[in-house]
Amino acid sequence: MIFQSFFKALAQLSDPRFRRVLWLGIGLTLALLIGSYAGLLWLIEWLTGESTELPLVGEVTWVGDLLSFGSFFLMIVLSIFLMVPVASAITSMFLDEVAQAVEDRHYPHLPQADKVPFSDALRDTLNFLGVLIAANLLAIVLYVMFPPAALFIFWGLNGFLLGREYFTLAAIRRIGRTGAKDLRAKHRGAIWMAGILMAMPLSVPLVNLLIPILGAATFTHIFHALNARR
C-alpha cells in the first residue's frame, strides 16, 4: 500500500495542475532555504562585527557571500537540516490543492471535501512546527551519543512526526479532526513507515525539494486506502 501510494503520486507529475502546484512548492521551498541562508550569513556577520557596505557606501560582505558560487553548496548542505520543517510548512499550505488534484484523478466519485478554516490550519501548522523543531533539537543529544545511528534516529523521529502530520492533514478534509485521530491511532505503524519513506529523501540534497508535494499526494492515497478498510 505504501509504495503503491508513492508511485501513484509520482506518476501524477504528468498532470498539468499537479505540476503547477509542484513547481510552486519547489519555488517557495527554494525561497525559504535562500532566505534562511541569507539570514544566517547576516547573523554571522553581525555577531563577528564585520562591516557591511553598499555602493557609494562600501562593500557588502554577506551579500557577496550569498551570491558566491561556493555558497550554493553550503545551502544544499543546510537543506538537509532545514527541509524537515520546510516540508511540513509547504505541505500544510498546499495540501488542499494537492489532495484535490489526486482525488479528481483517482477518486472522482467522492463529494467535495470540507475546507479546513485558515485559522485552524495556521494554528495546527505552528503547533506542529514547534513540536518538530523541539524534538529535533533534543535529538541532537542522541546524535552525539550514538553517532553511527544518527541517520537512523533522524529518519525514525522525523518519519514518525511527518507521517503523523501528513496523514492528519489529509484525513481532516474527509472525516474531521476526531475521525482523523482515531484512524491514525488504528494504523500508527503503517503511517510511521510511510513517514520514514518521506523522511529518508529529505536527507538527500535536491531530491528533497520534491518531497513536500509528493508526500502530500502519497498520504492522500494512504488515507483513502486505510479509510476504505474501516
CA 223 to CA 5: how far, in whole Å? 10
| pLDDT cut 70: percent of the chain above it | 79
Average pLDDT, the chain: 79
Q: Are 136 and 84 in contact (CB under 8 A)?
A: yes
Instruction: Identify any residues that bridge with 60 across adjacent strands, giving them in sequence order.
Output: 52
Cell of 122: 495556521
The winner for highest mean pLDDT among 49-53, 100-104, 121-125, 208-212 is 100-104
pTM as predicted? 0.78
What are 28-52's pLDDT values in tens digits? 777 777 777 677 666 666 665 555 4
Q: How far apart are CA 1 and CA 59, in angstroms?
A: 56
* Residue 192: pLDDT band with limits 50, 70, 90: very high
Neighbours of 57 (CB within 10 A): 9
For the segment 155-178, the average pLDDT, to the nearest whole number, is 90
Strand partners, 52: 60
Parse the chain into domains and list their residue ranges. 2-31+79-227
